[in-house]
Amino acid sequence: MKKIKKYIYLLIVLLIAAINFNLILKPLDLVTGGTQGAALLFSHVFKITPSIVIFIINIIMLIISYLFLERETTYGTIVATFMYPLFVRLTNPLTLNLVNEYNFLFVILAGIVCGVTGGLVYKLGFSNGGISIIALLVRKYLHIEIAITNFIVNGIIVLLGLYYFGIVKCLKAILVIFLQSFLIRLILKRKVTNSKKHIFRLQKD
């Protein structure tokens, strides 16, 4: 029963992330790195539907994860691999006419939603999969920290976003990334703190 609840929570979080993508990130062309950023770039350059790009990237990375990483890592990404692009596809009709004067508020909202949903996915014990698998591979075989690899890969995607969408949209995307990283760390740090408190109570009892 507890496992079923975890998967239900995960599906809700993925749905919210998909709505955030179609409602804010896509209309504002916010290339924030990762699979979402790559999807926006491919959509802009090659006119491919973002949900298809996300699905293709996720499937490729899932296969790589299965071949080269631990099975638990692969199993933790399966749900996100299939359900997130499906939710992106289903919520695609959702659009907002984001007037320029309110753009900044929507950028902040997008960063908050990205951070909270990303943090909750990790807190539930799952993984977003996609391009983040590259960082796990590099850590396993080249012993380079995940944060460094993520920074390089996401940096390349953001720079491509700068080239195609301009400096203003790039700066907004960086703000989203900053808010996202801050909130994910905050959520995961809280999880670790709660775990320590729980251990302390057990020892005390």
Total residues found in the chain within this entry:
205
pLDDT in tens, 48-88: 999 999 999 999 999 998 888 877 778 778 888 999 999 99
What's the mean pLDDT in 182-203? Answer: 62
How much is the average pLDDT of 108-129? Answer: 88
Locate 90 and state its tokens: 């289903």
Percent of the residues in the chain that have a pLDDT greater than 70, as a whole number: 88
Range with the poorest average pLDDT among 33-47, 71-85, 186-200 = 186-200
Average pLDDT over residues 165-188: 91
77: which 2 tokens?
């990404």
CB 167 within 8 A of CB 175: no
Structure tokens belonging to residue 27: 């209309």
Half-sphere exposure at residue 72, Cβ-oriented, CA atoms within 13 angstroms: 2
Burial class of residue 124 (count of CB atoms within 10 Å of its CB; 0-12, 13-18, 19+):
middle
Nearest CA-CA partner of 176 in 57, 14, 41, 24: 24
What's the whole-model pTM score?
A: 0.84
Q: Which residues does 32 contact at the CB level (< 8 Å), separation at least 6?
A: 25, 114, 154, 158, 173, 176, 177, 180
Pairwise CA distance, residues 93 & 189, whole Å? 36
